Structure 1
Amino acid sequence: MKIIVLGAGVVGVTSAWYLAKAGHEVTVIERNDAVAQDTSFANAGQISPGYAAPWAAPGVPLKALKWMFEKHAPLIVSPRPELAKLTWLAQMLRNCTEARYAVNKGRMVRLAEYSRDCLIALREETGIAYDGRQQGTLQLFRTQKQVDGAAKDIDVLKERGVRFELLDRAGCVAAEPGLENARDRIAGGLRLPGDETGDCQIFTTRLAEMARALGVTFRFGTAIRRLEQSGGRITSVETSQGPMEADAFVVALGSPAPLLTRPLGVKLPIYPVKGYSITAPLVDPERAPQSTVMDESYKVAITRLGDRIRAGGMAELNGFSKTLVAKRQDTLTLSVEDLFGGAADQSRAQFWTGLRPMTPDGTPVIGRAGAANLFLNTGHGTLGWTMAAGSGQLLCDIVSGSASAIPAAEYGYERYLPSDRRPREEQLRPVTG
């Protein structure tokens, strides 16, 4: 079957890889001149299934109000009035209940764990290298209240059979010796020994090269304008290079996805949540993290990537703005230097921002929507790198009509529709070329 994948971030490229492995003829269309130039370019580097959790959680509304008055707030909401932002926030607040949090976190951990398994298999099959480390991740708590608050997440980890270690101060320093000079600021930590790290941009670039060897065609510098529909099917995608036809179309555009699907009646509840990162050269390996340390107080992930240290985090709700705000860099630098002072040369740090495509329930949207041959793989928020391989394989299974290793239905767009508008089972049959 001839398939067009729209978007060449890590989710689009992994989708193309698995579709090509399944025998499909795949073309990837991307407006940039290379893969992984937007959200996948300089993310925090975590592959952390155990930390997969929705932002919509009990207690978050009160925390958000408190954060608004903090100098180094992990959440920043622009005062600029915007209907899309207000609608998304209202939807998110409706998910801040114990019951919905448990359901959403269960879905996210299930996909993230599956994705990690898919990545391990892909790495073993191809030998792909991407400054990866398989040394676990550590969620660092500065207060006893944060330690106590980890209980509900630990319950989910136990339920899913995810390995974890609840550490005291000494245990955190033993796991990450670079924290020695910050031990007086540590109350404890939650370590997940099965988690990984790696450079998402390097991974995506190298996987794209392997995908080309399987016959995948990449059309760079090609703007995507609209999808043409007739008779309940997408017939072509209109681009800056003219119309392109295929048997099936996969939308993996991230934050811009709703702009493309809305004319088809598919109203994706995805909002662009702005995140920041700094990447600085390593100058003292003994003071550096071994893997990823998540500073819970500032919601900043600090990751060792080869001879570099990257810190990423924060959530800014400000539409599609990609303006670099200097005080966000100050927050990232503060977290790194407070915990791993002197490990990196901050005078040479590269400052970056990207837009994460967030759904109000935290779970990505994977599956068919709007037309018999239109498929979605988007809405991964801060976990695109963590969930990419599993999402690509799941999307491939759905498109190909194959049995999937995890329940596909719970990631579908249909969960946002009223029950009387959800498609009948006969409308969900696989597409044939």
Structure 2
Amino acid sequence: MHVLILGSGVIGVTNAYYLAKEGHQVTVVDRQSSAGLETSFANAGQLSPGYSAPWAAPGVPQKAVKWMLSKYAPLIVNFKPEWDKLKFITRMFANCTPKAYGINKDRMVRLAEYSRHCLLELDGELKFDYNHERKGTLQIFRTEAQLKASAKDIAVLEENNVPYELLDADGCVAIEPGLADVKKDIVGGLRLVNDMTGDCFKLTTQLMEKCREMGVEFKFDTSINKLNMRDGKISSVATSAGDLTADKYIMALGCYATPLLKEVGIDSPVYPVKGYSLTIPVTNENASPVSTIMDETYKVAITRLGNRIRIAGIAELTGYDLSLGDRQRKTMQFVISNLFPNGTDLTEDNFWCGLRPMTPDGTPIIGKTDISNLYLNTGHGTLGWTMSFGSARVSTDIVCGKEPEILSDNFAISRYKGKTERQEMVNEIDPLEVN
């Protein structure tokens, strides 16, 4: 079987690896000059199954206004009228109920934990060098309200047997000694002990080379223009290098899949949410982070990657715009300076942004479509790195006609299909009951 994968980010490359491992002919096509050069390039670096949670949570609609108006805003919305943006926000807010949050977080943690298992298995086989560490994630709380609100996340962690530690300020400093100078500003923390860190771009490029050894063909510098249809199936993909054909096709283009899918009658709920990162050098080992710290107040992640620190965050709803904003840069500079004031040199920061492919309910879209030879593996939002290997295994099994090792029916785009607009807005259907 010949499979054509559209997109060479971490999602597309991991999918190529597992399909090649199954013995299939695989071609990967991308407009960039190499793999992992878009959203996978400079993400937060955290592999956080335990921290996998939808942005759509109880209280978020009320908090959103406060976030947007704050000096160091974790949320920025361009209010220029845009139907897809309005539809995404409406669907997302509809998922901000306790019931929907529990359902969505449960399946996200399930996929992320499976992905952790798949990565550790692959890591043992291939021995890649990508600044991989297994030192956990520490979510720090600056207020008692944040600490109290963590109870709902802890309940889901316990249901999924995910180990955690609930810490006071002294416990946080014991795990991350560099926080000692700001201990007075911390009321506690939630540590996910199995979470990991690693450079997504480094692994993606190394896995690409492994795929090549296995016979995978990569077609770079090739624009994807259109999905050609014949007799209700994809007949070919129109590209700048001509029409490409295969037996089956996997869409792994992140948010760039949405307009292509619309042309063949598939209404994808995936919307681009811009995120930013700074990458800076470690200048003081004792005053720098050990692993990943999530600042609950500013929604910013700080991750140690070897001799570098990656600061990432902010959610900006502004379509496909990739311009860099000084306000966003200052937010991340403030957070790292506030928590680790003596650990780095901000004059050497590398500023970057990418488009996260977000779904309204937080869960990626993996699996079949109404077009029999077209499959999706997209919509991972901020968790593409965390969920990539599990998503690729699930996708590969589905494409090959096998039963995935975890419950996966509720990952398909069918969970968004066949609902009235009112049903979409209230999201009353339990995705775990979809067959």
> RMSD of the alignment, in Å?
0.9
The amino acid of 1:412's aligned partner reads A
Q: Which residue of 2 aligns with 1:256?
A: 256
The 5-angstrom pairing of residues 142-221 of structure 1 reads 142-221=142-221
The amino acid of 1:361's aligned partner reads D
Deviation at 1:405, TM superposition (A): 0.9
Q: Which residue of 2 aligns with 1:314?
A: 314
The amino acid of 1:225's aligned partner reads N
Q: Which residue of 2 aligns with 1:23?
A: 23
Superposition misfits of 4+ residues, deviation over 6 angstroms: none
Deviation at 1:170, TM superposition (A): 0.4
Distance 2:135 2:166 in 1: 16
TM-score in terms of structure 1 length: 0.96
Q: Secondary structure at the match of 1:17?
A: helix
Q: Which residue of 1 aligns with 2:127?
A: 127
The amino acid of 2:254's aligned partner reads G
Q: Which residue of 1 aligns with 2:284?
A: 284
Moved more, 211-220 or 400-409: 400-409
Deviations 1:37-57 (CA, angstroms, capped at 9, x unpaired): 110000000100111111111
The 5-angstrom pairing of residues 2-401 of structure 1 reads 2-401=2-401
Deviation at 1:94, TM superposition (A): 1.0
The amino acid of 1:384's aligned partner reads G
Deviation at 1:322, TM superposition (A): 0.7
Deviation at 1:235, TM superposition (A): 1.1
Q: Secondary structure at the match of 1:51?
A: coil
Deviation at 1:232, TM superposition (A): 2.0
Distance 1:85 1:404 in 2: 33
The size of the alignment, in residue pairs, is: 420
Distance 2:125 2:45 in 1: 22
Distance 2:52 2:406 in 1: 16
Distance 1:270 1:417 in 2: 14
The amino acid of 2:88's aligned partner reads W
The amino acid of 2:174's aligned partner reads A
Distance 2:69 2:294 in 1: 22
Deviation at 1:419, TM superposition (A): 6.6
Deviations 1:21-50 (CA, angstroms, capped at 9, x unpaired): 011100000100011111000000010011
Q: Which residue of 1 aligns with 2:424?
A: none
The amino acid of 1:289's aligned partner reads P
Identical aligned residues as a percent: 52
Deviation at 1:63, TM superposition (A): 0.3
Distance 1:245 1:21 in 2: 21
Distance 1:50 1:416 in 2: 26
Distance 2:23 2:371 in 1: 23
Q: Which residue of 2 aligns with 1:428?
A: none
The amino acid of 2:198's aligned partner reads G
Deviation at 1:243, TM superposition (A): 0.3
Q: Is 1:39–1:355's contact at 8 Å kept on the other side of the alignment?
A: yes
Q: Secondary structure at the match of 1:68?
A: helix
Q: Which residue of 1 aligns with 2:406?
A: 406
Q: Secondary structure at the match of 1:283?
A: coil
Deviation at 1:68, TM superposition (A): 2.0
| Structure 2 residues not aligned, in runs of 5+ | 421-435
The amino acid of 2:287's aligned partner reads R
The amino acid of 2:397's aligned partner reads D
The amino acid of 1:414's aligned partner reads S
Distance 1:252 1:35 in 2: 12
Q: Is 1:264–1:370's contact at 8 Å kept on the other side of the alignment?
A: no
Q: Secondary structure at the match of 2:173?
A: helix
Q: Secondary structure at the match of 2:69?
A: coil
TM-score in terms of structure 2 length: 0.96
Q: Secondary structure at the match of 2:293?
A: strand
The amino acid of 2:96's aligned partner reads C
Q: Which residue of 2 aligns with 1:424?
A: none
Distance 1:156 1:354 in 2: 30
Q: Which residue of 2 aligns with 1:431?
A: none
Deviation at 1:18, TM superposition (A): 0.5
